[in-house]
């Protein structure tokens, strides 16, 4: 068949296909096109396959480069429409948190515990050291920062400017700050994993030491009565989430250091897919931690209640991470 | 002999056709990044009046900074396939099989931007794009994504009508395609250039000048429309 | 020149894609290009070192200014490598000779700071044009827009980024006990040793970026020629012509190609065969009008719409404002602060509420999914084995199966009859308490049944499966009596099974 016959025979189909493409590309969600074009849209996959066939024919029959490239363009646009993944948010987010996230975490339990150790071991060590010796903290944190820290948790300091009527206002500012700071740390400790896992390990070690030093130092100064109730509420989610982000980073590092039977690049791809799930879950946990930290931890509830909430948080979190997603829909 | 160098990656679709992806190199990507950085900076500036709302405004502003820092590219890539900067240069982010980028891959490639940025101003990313065959930075490597040109060039493709003339023997399929391409693109060349090109082919038969052009157009018409008698 | 050995794909490309192709070429040939850069740059650097009296800042400036000297041979090298004949190191003299000629001089003087340097260099060095012809030709090629200038600008920044990266890595990786690189001195203090390191890092950055810069400019030039002159078509046509000529004069062509000098070679490949603006021997005199006519014709062409281009330019013009008018004051309205606090409260409780609802939903979801794996109720309508469902229409099973099978048989549709029978037996298996996961094949299904049920309870299943497989995969249509036998067996089987299951 000569090119011109071929074109005359198929122009109608191409035009229809092109119209449908424009509808699909124009309307962001396919729902809008439900009205008049829905019947036509059912024909789209069929037309798409037809155009694919035409393109292959045009190439093999040696039709003009212009026609081939036009058809190629049509195929490419259709391919994007047929194989696009539309992200939906609420329902998948729930499913994700209810099963995929804890399952993925359990699959990499070893790395998770390694990250926990990297976070908590220096925390404990620095905590004990600074509690025993008042000078140790200055080896890690600068004097001005230490002074700020002390001022923040001084029980005799009635927190100027944080009267009851301004409370909500400042709380929200702190919420913004916590989100930006903590989720940012989580993301960075994930990304640092690409440097052979060293970046993640460093961020975990550093944050562990910093938190430990601050806690030990404040307890030593008898500021523990303001410090511990404040951190009790959000600590479970925040610390665990940072460790999980770190574990995600270590997962990237592992792909580069111990790729197993894959090439390093292939291992990195596979591990990155799991790692991003961990980071996603961890950042949702960090958001929760920010809500708790900003609106509950700074609240007026008495210390025992806050401790109770903290303990309950650890228990629930442990139950969640070990048990969620073990249900019947396995393998589905 | 190694395959000729090109910036197109072919990917076979499930329908069995080869889809060409034109990967974009460091220069347009760097410029797109620059444009995005400027847009982001402008948005950051636009957020500062929120400070008028004191603490609440500060909180909103910090949230805005957070979103701009981490999710500006993700938002646009998942919605339209490219950030505004990339769109301005006609670029799109796709998976390496050519499908539009999804949430997970976009998150991976944009969170890993931090590493590409090291040690300064995307140094690691630059080295990676120079070394990699498909100009991928580290985030692209981990996410399995490519940055490609969205649109093929717009081509005017009408083969001007001429009296079909049979092709001389011995012209391969490559040459036949070149002849068709000559007919399609000829309108954009100067007449003298057209004559010159056509004379290369017709040297054997000895036609010169516009006769040569007419002869090659005749061949193109033969190829595209067959020997049928055209309506006047 | 062997045209069929061209090592890149020729096709029309936009300017940006042309650049990218250049980067791909440079990546492909990086090592030879890089060494060739150093072969010229190293002696030049040593010479400059002596001439500038070992002052690092002047030294760097001199090396930087001489960059076109090292770039020209790279260009010649690439232009040959493109046709599958990369000059070896033995041809170094010829490569240098072709690169370093008098046409390079402007690039070291007034054209050194020209932002389109790498784009117009092929014009001077490969086409060998000079004077008015070169100017006219440059004007034509320059219609490509800002891309060549962007290339120069971006490559300059690439150098800066690489330089800064090397310095920073050195700074960060040297342990604290060793003398640390002073970053401030490395940039500003030309007397310090750190400055020398910075200069060397810059030299390294030059060498890395240069191949990419040269190749990108060259590829951009090729893209422009392809667009303006259909250079790709010219090569394709020449190739066809060579193919036709070859049988007759293969030996003479080969000999001639070998005998050509490099300079002549590149001229043959890249000289434009014809351009209206460039006088050339192949322009046919009889096509050209007389001078007076030509002038009128040129005027006419220049007047035509598709020759020139019109640009609509929008600029901002300052609006004059009275000096006396007071600046508008930004005064927050009354109650703005209270509104903010109110909003703060609203968002606070909103966020808390959202968090609680989300947690509640999550807990509900987890509990719903988290059913301990106790005894499950048998699935009443099991998913069909995947391999069978594709060959069957998925309609509900009729109430009276035996009658339906017989009806199909009497219609002559033996395939439908057997498929009904097979599906019904799968349903019966499920009723007997066998769990059939989705995607099970017929064989797996049979094996599951054998494992779970005693042999007498399998009934005609094994025979039925074999017959069905024969039909589904081998198109062996069973005879009517065989199906009737199977149906009878099936009826006996289900009656027995139903009795056992019954209350």
Cβ neighbours, 10 Å, residue A311: 12
Supply C33's token pair.
């290009």
Of A165, A166, A172, the CB nearest to C347: A172
B115, A191 contact by CB (below 8 A): yes
How far is B123 from chain C, CA to nearest CA, in Å?
6
- The CA-atom distances, in angstroms, between C271 and each of A95, A265, C226 are 66, 45, 13
Residues A155 and A229 in one domain: yes
Mean pLDDT for C173-182 is 71
| Confidence check: pLDDT of C255 > 50 | no
- The two three-digit tokens of residue C167, written as one number: 């310095």
- Among B33-47, C108-122, C309-323, C456-470, the range scoring the smallest mean pLDDT is C309-323
Q: Residue A36: which pLDDT band, with cuts at 50, 70 and 90?
A: low
Q: How far apart are CA C267 and CA C258, in angstroms?
A: 15
**Mean pLDDT, range C362-383, rounded to an integer:** 60
pLDDT tens readout for residues A298-331: 777 888 898 999 999 999 999 999 888 776 544 4
Q: Which residue has the tokens 């606070």?
A: C348
Give residue C460's pLDDT: 84
Residue C471 falls inside a structural domain: yes
The answer on A254 and A134 residing in a single domain is yes
Backbone angles phi, psi at B22, to 5 degrees: -90, 100
pLDDT of residue B220: 85
Which residues of chain C make contact with B37, given a CB cutoff of 8 A?
none
> Which pLDDT belongs to residue B86?
93
pLDDT tier at C203 (50, 70, 90 boundaries)? very high
| Residue A38: per-residue pLDDT | 59
Judged by CB atoms closer than 8 Å, whether chains meet at A85 and B100 is answered as yes
**Mutation for A interface: C354, C370, C373, C376, most A CBs within 10 A:** C370
Under 8 Å CB-to-CB from C155, ≥6 apart: which residues? B27, C209, C212, C213, C216
Q: Is the pLDDT of residue C34 over 50?
A: yes
What ipTM does the predicted assembly reach?
Answer: 0.89
pLDDT category, A41, cuts 50, 70, 90? confident
Report the gap between the CA of C439 and the closest CA in chain A (Å).
11
Indicate if C270 and C419 belong to the same structural domain: no
- pLDDT at A138 (0 to 100): 86
CA angle A85, B148, C235 (to 5 degrees): 140
Look at residue C216 in the predicted model and tell me its pLDDT. 94
CA dist., res. C133 & res. C126, Å (int): 14
Length of chain B: 232
Averaged pLDDT of chain C: 76
The region of weakest confidence among C36-40, C70-74, C178-182, C287-291 is: C287-291
CA angle A158, A164, A168 (to 5 degrees): 115
Please say which residue of C237, C257, C282 terminates a domain: C282
Q: Which residue has the tokens 């020729």?
A: C10
- Whether residues A175 and A307 fall in one domain: yes
Average confidence (pLDDT) over C133-148: 81
C365 in contact with chain A, both atoms CB, cutoff 8 A: yes
Neighbours of C279 (CB within 10 A): 12
Give the pLDDT confidence score for residue C291 in this predicted structure.
67
pLDDT category of residue C177 using cuts at 50, 70 and 90 = low
The whole-angstrom separation of Cα C429 and Cα C440 is 13
Q: C6 pLDDT exceeds 80?
A: no
Kindly tell me the burial class for residue C143, based on how many C-beta atoms sit within 10 Å of its own C-beta (0-12, 13-18, 19 or more). exposed
* d(C-alpha C126, C-alpha C111), whole Å: 17
Q: Which residues contact B171 (CB under 8 A, 6 or more apart)?
A: B179, C240
Asked whether the predicted pLDDT for residue B190 surpasses 50, the reply is: yes
Q: Chain-wide mean pLDDT for chain A?
A: 84
Token readout for C392 is 């069957």
Neighbour-count burial of C168, counting CB atoms closer than 10 A to its CB (0-12 exposed, 13-18 middle, 19+ buried): middle
Out of C20, C157, C286, closest to residue B24 by CB:
C20
Contact between C274 and B192 using a beta-carbon 8 Å cutoff: yes
> What integer pLDDT is reported at residue B136 of this predicted model?
92
More confident residue, A243 or B209: A243
In a domain, C325, yes or no: no
- From A82, A101, A130, the end of a domain falls on A82
Domain presence at residue C257:
yes
Q: Which of C262, C230, C26, B179 is nearest to A64 (CA)?
A: B179
Output b/e per residue, C445-456; b: 16+ Cβ within 10 A: bbebbeeebeee
Residue B85 CA neighbour count, 13 Å, CB half:
18
Residue pair A141/A210 in contact (Cβ under 8 Å)? The answer is yes
Minimum distance, in Å, between the CA of residue C469 and any CA atom of chain A: 27
Q: Hey, are the CB atoms on C355 and A166 less than 8 Å from each other? A: no
- Quick check: B139 and B115 in contact, CB under 8 A? yes
Count of C-beta atoms within a 10 Å radius of residue B10: 11
| Of C397 and C163, the one with more pLDDT | C163
Residues of B in contact with A183 (CB under 8 A): 66, 70
State the total domains in chain A.
2
| pLDDT tens string B210-219 | 888 888 888 8
Size of interface A-B (CB pairs under 8 A): 172
> For A169-178, B103-112, B140-149, C392-401, which range has the lowest pLDDT when averaged over its residues?
C392-401
Look-up of token digits 């900067």: B85
Last residue of a domain, one of C254, C282, C310: C282
Q: How far is CA B9 from CA A84, B134, B141, in A?
A: 19, 8, 15
Please judge whether C229 and B193 are an interchain contact, meaning their C-beta atoms are less than 8 angstroms apart: yes
pLDDT at residue number B105: 87
Q: Given B60, B81, B226, which is nearest A176 (Cβ)?
A: B60
At B23, the pLDDT band (50, 70, 90 cuts) reads very high
Range picked from B130-139, B202-211, C86-95 for highest mean pLDDT = B130-139
Higher pLDDT residue, A155 or B131?
B131
List of residues 6+ apart from C327 with CB closer than 8 A: none
Touching subunits of B (3+ CB pairs, under 8 Å) are: A, C
Residue whose token pair is 């940039």: C187
Query: Given this model, what pLDDT does residue C391 score?
Result: 38
**Of C25, C84, C237, which has the smallest distance from its Cβ to B197's Cβ?**
C237
* Residue that is last in its domain, among A26, A60, A82: A82
Question: pLDDT higher for C209 or C443?
Answer: C209
Chain CA centroid to CA A54, Å: 43
pLDDT reading at C265 higher than 60: no
Among A249-263, A289-303, C331-345, which stretch is predicted with the lowest mean pLDDT?
C331-345
The CA distance from C271 to the nearest CA of chain B, in Å, is 13
Pair A186, A288 in one domain: yes
Do C373 and A328 make contact, defined as CB atoms within 8 angstroms? yes
Q: Which of A2, A59, A72 sits opposite B152 (nearest CB)?
A: A72
**CA-CA distance, A79 to A75, in Å (whole number)?**
6
C13 and B23 within 8 Å at the Cβ level: the answer is no
Whole-number pLDDT of residue A30: 46
pLDDT band at A204 (very low <50, low <70, confident <90, very high): very high
Domain end (from A20, A51, A82): A82
Mean pLDDT of A7-32: 78
Are the CB atoms for A143 and B30 separated by under 8 Å?
Answer: no
Domain of residue C207: give its range: 3-282
Contact of B133 with chain A, judged by CB distance below 8 Å, is answered with no
Tens digit of each residue's pLDDT (9 = 90 or more) over C43-89: 999 999 888 887 888 888 999 998 988 888 888 888 888 877 777 77
CB environment C203-224: b (16+ within 10 A), e (fewer): bebbbbbbbbbbbbbbbbbbbb
Across C125-152, average pLDDT: 81
| Whole-angstrom Cα Rg for chain A | 28
Q: Could you say which of C237, C266, C282 is where a domain stops? A: C282
pLDDT of res. A54: 92
User: Where do the structural domains in chain B lie, given as residue ranges?
Assistant: 8-149, 157-232
Closest by CA position to C237, among listed B171, B188, B191, B224: B171
**What would the mean pLDDT of C263-281 be, rounded to a whole number?**
40
Find out whether B147 and B29 touch, Cβ atoms under 8 Å: yes
Question: Using CA atoms in the order A271, A272, A274, A278, what is the torsion angle rounded to 10 degrees?
Answer: 130
pLDDT of C302 > 90? The answer is no
pLDDT at A241: 94
Q: How far apart are the first and last CA of chain B?
A: 49
In sequence order, the 6+-apart residues with CB closer than 8 A to the CB of C173 are none
List all residues 6 or more positions away from C354 whose beta carbon is below 8 Å from its beta carbon.
Answer: none
Average the pLDDT over each of A47-61, A63-77, B171-185, C293-307 and give the range with the smallest value.
C293-307
Within a domain: C442: yes
Q: What is the rounded distance in angstroms from the CA atom of residue C295 to the CA atom of residue B63?
A: 68
Q: C-chain residues within 8 Å CB-CB of B5? A: 7-9, 21, 24-25, 28
Give the chain A residue nearest C361 (alpha carbons).
Answer: A94
Q: What angle do CA B205, B209, B210 make, to 5 degrees?
A: 100
Residues A95 and A56 in one domain: no
* Contacts with A172 from chain C: Cβ below 8 Å: 344, 347-348
Query: pLDDT at residue C385 above 80?
Result: no
Task: Tell me whether residues B172 and C25 touch, CB distance under 8 A.
Answer: no
Give the mean model confidence (pLDDT) for residues B224-232: 64
Written as one string, the DSSP assignment of chain B is -PPPB-SEEEEE-TTS-EEEEEB--HHHHHHHHHHHHHHHHHHHHHHGGGGGGHHHHHHHHHHHHHHHHHHHHHHHHHHHSS-HHHHHTTEEEEETTSSBP-HHHHHHHHHTHHHHHTTTTTHHHHHHHHHSTT---HHHHHHTEEEEESSPPP-----------PPPTT--HHHHHHHHHHHHHGGGS-HHHHHHHHHHHHTTTT--HHHHHHHHHHHHHHHHH-SPPPP-
B182 vs A240, residue with greater confidence: A240
Report the pLDDT value the prediction gives residue A48, as an integer from 0 to 100: 92
Q: Which of B25, B170, B193 sits opposite C23 (nearest CB)?
A: B25
Residues with Cβ within 8 Å of C279's Cβ and at least 6 positions away in sequence, in order, are C133
Are A42 and A175 in a shared domain? no
Say how far apart CA C483 and CA C503 lie, in whole Å: 31
Flag whether residue A202 sits within 8 Å of chain C, measured between CB atoms: no
Position A290 pLDDT exceeds 70: yes
Measured distance CA(A196)–CA(A271) in Å, rounded: 13
Q: Give the number of other Cβ atoms within 10 Å of residue A278's Cβ.
A: 27
**Domain-embedded: residue C486:** yes
Asked whether the beta carbons of B39 and B87 are under 8 A apart, the reply is no
C342 belongs to a structural domain: no
Domain for residue C352, yes or no? Answer: no
Answer whether residue C266 shows pLDDT above 80. Answer: no
**Number of structural domains in chain C:** 2
Instruction: Give the gyration radius of chain B's Cα atoms.
Output: 26
CA of A172, closest CA in chain C: separation in Å?
Answer: 6
Band the pLDDT of A207: cuts 50, 70, 90: very high
A223 and A116, same domain (yes or no): yes
Which range scores top for mean pLDDT: C137-146, C366-375, C457-466?
C457-466
Question: Do the beta carbons of residue B153 and residue C14 sit within 8 Å?
Answer: yes
**pLDDT band at residue C264 under the 50/70/90 scheme:** very low
Tokens of B215: 């002869």
Per-residue pLDDT band for C386 (boundaries 50, 70, 90) equals: very low
* Cβ <8 Å between C348 and A168: yes
pLDDT at position C383: 46
The answer to whether A232 touches A309, Cβ cutoff 8 Å, is yes
Nearest to B102 among A85, A168, A176 (CB): A85
> What is the span of the domain harbouring residue A306?
91-323
Question: Is B115 in contact with A191 (Cβ distance < 8 A)?
Answer: yes
Residue that wins the pLDDT comparison between C344 and C325: C344
Q: What is the pLDDT of residues C400-446, one digit of tens each?
A: 888 888 888 888 888 888 888 888 888 888 877 777 777 778 888 88
Per the model's pLDDT, the better-predicted residue between B163 and C252 turns out to be: B163
In chain A, alpha helices (H): 3-26, 38-42, 44-60, 65-82, 90-95, 101-107, 109-132, 143-153, 167-178, 184-191, 198-220, 224-232, 235-257, 264-292, 303-323
Q: Alpha-carbon distance C209 to C159, whole Å? A: 6
Cα C476 from chain centroid (whole Å): 50
């Amino acid at each position: 068949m000569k090119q011109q016959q071929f074109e005359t025979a198929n122009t109608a189909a191409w035009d229809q296909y092109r119209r449908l493409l424009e509808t699909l590309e124009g309307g962001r969600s396919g729902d809008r096109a439900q009205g008049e074009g829905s019947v036509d849209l059912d024909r789209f996959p069929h037309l798409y396959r037809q155009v694919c066939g035409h393109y292959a024919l045009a190439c093999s029959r040696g039709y003009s480069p212009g026609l081939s490239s036009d058809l190629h363009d049509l195929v490419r646009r259709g391919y994007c429409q047929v194989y696009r993944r539309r992200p939906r948010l609420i329902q998948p987010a729930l499913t994700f948190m209810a099963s995929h996230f804890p399952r993925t975490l359990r699959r990499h339990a070893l790395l998770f515990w390694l990250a926990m150790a990297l976070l908590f071991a220096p925390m404990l060590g620095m905590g004990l050291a600074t509690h025993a010796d008042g000078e140790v903290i200055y080896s890690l944190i600068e004097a001005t920062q230490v002074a700020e820290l002390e001022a923040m948790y001084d029980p005799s300091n009635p927190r100027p400017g944080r009267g009851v009527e301004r409370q909500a206002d400042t709380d929200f500012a702190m919420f913004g700050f916590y989100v930006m700071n903590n989720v940012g740390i989580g993301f960075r400790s994930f990304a640092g994993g690409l440097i052979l896992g060293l970046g993640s390990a460093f961020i975990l070690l550093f944050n562990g030491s910093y938190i430990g030093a601050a806690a030990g130092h404040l307890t030593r100064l008898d500021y523990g009565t303001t410090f511990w109730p404040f951190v009790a509420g959000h600590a479970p989610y925040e610390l665990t989430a940072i460790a999980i982000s770190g574990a995600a980073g270590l997962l990237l590092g592992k792909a580069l250091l111990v790729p197993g039977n894959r090439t390093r690049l292939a291992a990195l791809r596979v591990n990155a897919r799991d790692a991003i799930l961990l980071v996603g879950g961890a950042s949702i946990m960090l958001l929760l931690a920010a809500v708790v930290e900003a609106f509950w931890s700074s609240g007026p509830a008495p210390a025992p209640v806050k401790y109770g909430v903290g303990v309950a948080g650890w228990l629930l979190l442990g139950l969640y991470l070990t048990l969620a997603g073990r249900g019947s829909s396995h393998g589905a | 002999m190694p395959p000729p160098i090109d910036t197109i990656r072919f990917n076979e679709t499930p329908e069995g056709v080869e889809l060409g992806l034109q990967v974009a190199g460091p220069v347009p990507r760097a410029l797109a990044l620059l444009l995005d950085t400027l847009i982001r900076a402008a948005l950051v500036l636009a957020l500062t009046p929120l400070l008028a709302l004191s603490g609440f405004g500060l909180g909103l502003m910090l949230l805005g900074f957070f979103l701009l820092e981490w999710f500006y590219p993700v938002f646009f890539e998942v919605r339209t396939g490219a950030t505004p900067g990339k769109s301005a240069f006609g670029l799109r982010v796709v998976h390496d099989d050519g499908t539009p980028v999804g949430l997970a891959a976009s998150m991976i490639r944009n969170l890993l931007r931090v590493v590409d940025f090291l040690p300064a101003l995307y140094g690691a990313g630059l080295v990676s794009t120079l070394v990699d065959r498909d100009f991928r930075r580290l985030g692209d490597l981990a996410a399995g994504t490519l940055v490609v040109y969205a649109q093929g060039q717009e081509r005017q493709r009408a083969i001007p009508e001429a009296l079909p003339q049979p092709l001389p023997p011995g012209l391969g399929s490559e040459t036949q395609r070149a002849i068709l391409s000559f007919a399609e693109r000829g309108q954009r060349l100067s007449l003298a250039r057209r004559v010159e090109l056509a004379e290369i082919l017709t040297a054997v038969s000895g036609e010169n000048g516009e006769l040569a052009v007419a002869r090659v157009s005749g061949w193109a018409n033969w190829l595209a429309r067959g020997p049928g008698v055209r309506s006047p | 020149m062997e045209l069929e050995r061209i090592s890149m794909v020729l096709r029309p490309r936009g300017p940006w894609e042309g650049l990218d192709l250049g980067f791909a070429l440079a990546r492909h040939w990086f090592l030879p290009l890089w060494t060739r850069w150093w072969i010229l740059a190293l002696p030049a650097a040593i010479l400059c070192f002596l001439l500038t009296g070992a002052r690092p800042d002047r030294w760097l400036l001199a090396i930087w200014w001489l960059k076109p000297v090292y770039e020209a041979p790279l260009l010649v090298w690439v232009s040959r490598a493109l046709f599958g004949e990369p000059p070896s190191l033995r041809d170094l003299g010829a490569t240098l000779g072709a690169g370093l000629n008098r046409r390079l001089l402007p690039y070291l003087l007034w054209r050194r700071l020209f932002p389109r340097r790498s784009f117009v260099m092929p014009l001077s060095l490969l086409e060998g044009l000079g004077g008015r012809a070169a100017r006219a030709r440059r004007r034509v090629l320059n219609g490509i827009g800002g891309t060549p200038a962007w290339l120069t600008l971006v490559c300059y920044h690439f150098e800066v980024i690489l330089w800064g990266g090397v310095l920073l890595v050195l700074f960060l990786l040297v342990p604290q006990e060793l003398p640390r690189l002073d970053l401030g001195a490395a940039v500003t203090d030309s007397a310090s040793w750190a400055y020398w390191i910075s200069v060397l890092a810059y030299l390294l950055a030059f060498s890395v970026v240069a191949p990419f810069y040269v190749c990108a400019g060259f590829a951009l030039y090729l893209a422009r020629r392809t667009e303006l002159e259909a250079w790709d078509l010219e090569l394709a046509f020449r190739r066809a012509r060579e193919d036709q000529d070859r049988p007759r004069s293969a030996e003479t062509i080969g000999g001639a190609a070998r005998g050509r000098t490099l300079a002549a070679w590149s001229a043959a490949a890249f000289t434009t065969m014809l351009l209206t603006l460039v006088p050339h021997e192949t322009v046919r005199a009889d096509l050209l009008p007389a001078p007076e006519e030509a002038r009128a014709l040129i005027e006419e062409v220049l007047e035509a719409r598709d020759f020139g281009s019109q640009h609509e330019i929008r600029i901002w013009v300052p609006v004059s404002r009275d000096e006396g008018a007071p600046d508008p004051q930004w005064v927050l309205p009354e109650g703005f602060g209270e509104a903010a606090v109110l909003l703060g409260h609203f968002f606070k409780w909103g966020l808390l509420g959202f968090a609680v609802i989300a947690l509640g939903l999550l807990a509900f979801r987890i509990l719903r999914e988290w059913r301990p794996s106790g005894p499950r109720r048998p699935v009443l309508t099991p998913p069909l084995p995947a391999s069978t469902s594709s060959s069957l229409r998925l309609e509900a099973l009729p109430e009276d199966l035996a009658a339906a099978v017989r009806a199909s048989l009497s219609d002559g549709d033996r395939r439908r009859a057997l498929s009904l029978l097979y599906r019904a037996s799968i349903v019966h298996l499920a009723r007997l308490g066998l769990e059939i996961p989705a995607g099970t094949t017929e064989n797996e299904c049979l094996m599951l049944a054998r494992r779970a049920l005693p042999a007498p309870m399998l009934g005609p299943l094994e025979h039925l499966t074999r017959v069905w497989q024969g039909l589904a995969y081998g198109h062996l249509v069973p005879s009517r009596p065989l199906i009737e036998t199977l149906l009878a067996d099936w009826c006996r089987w289900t009656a027995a099974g139903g009795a056992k299951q019954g209350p």
